[in-house]
Amino acid sequence: MSQAKSGDTVRIHYTGTLKSGETFDSSDGRDPLEFVVGSGQIIPGLDVAIPGMVVGDKKTVEIACADAYGETNSEARQSVPRGEIPDNIPLEIGTQLQMQTPQGQMVHVTVAEVTDAEVTLDANHPLAGKDLIFAIEMVGIDAA
C-alpha cells in the first residue's frame, strides 16, 4: 500500500474537537476533505500528521494553537461607536459579520462585546488561541 507523502492528493474524514470535548467541525455526512499534503491548504499541525498514513489508517492528533489558528491577537479586537453601525446589523454576542477595510479588503469579525456606547469586534479566527484535537481516517491517496 502506498503511504501518503508530500505532494500527494489525499482524502480524509475527520472530527475536530476542543479539549472540552466540544466538536467544532466534522466531515461526518459530507464528502471527505481533499487536499495536497504539504501545500499549506490545511492547518500546519494537521498537515504534518498525514505523511506515512495509508488508506484505512485512523489516528487522533493533538494540535497546539500555534500549529492551528495561532494565538489570540489582542490587536485584532477593535471597539466601534455603536452609532456607526447601521440599525439593521444584528449585534448579539457571537454574531459573525463582514467588514471592509479602508483598503477594500473583506474581513470576517465576530461581535465580542456590546455596550450602550460601543461594539467590540474581534477579527481573530474563532479557533485562535485554542488547542485542537482531530480524529482522522485516511480514505484516499492519489500519488503525486
CATH number for the domain harbouring residue 18:
3.10.50.40
- Tens digits of residue pLDDT in 88-100: 998 999 999 998 8
The whole-angstrom separation of Cα 99 and Cα 10 is 34
Distance of CA 134 to the CA centre of its chain: 12
Judge if 13 and 64 occupy the same domain: yes
Q: What share of the chain is helix, strand, coil (3-state, %, to 5)?
A: 10, 40, 50
- Tens digits of residue pLDDT in 14-72: 999 999 999 999 999 999 999 999 999 999 999 999 999 999 999 999 999 999 999 99
Judge if 35 and 90 occupy the same domain: no
pLDDT at 100: 85
Determine contact, residues 95/122, Cβ cutoff 8 Å. no
pLDDT at 76: 92
CATH number for the domain harbouring residue 99:
2.40.10.330
Q: Which domain holds residue 32?
A: 3-70+127-142
Number of domains into which the chain is organized? 2
- Reduce the DSSP state of residue 6 to 3 states and report it: coil
pLDDT at 65: 96
Judge if 98 and 46 occupy the same domain: no
The whole-angstrom separation of Cα 136 and Cα 15 is 7
Higher pLDDT, 41 or 102: 41
Give the global pTM. 0.82
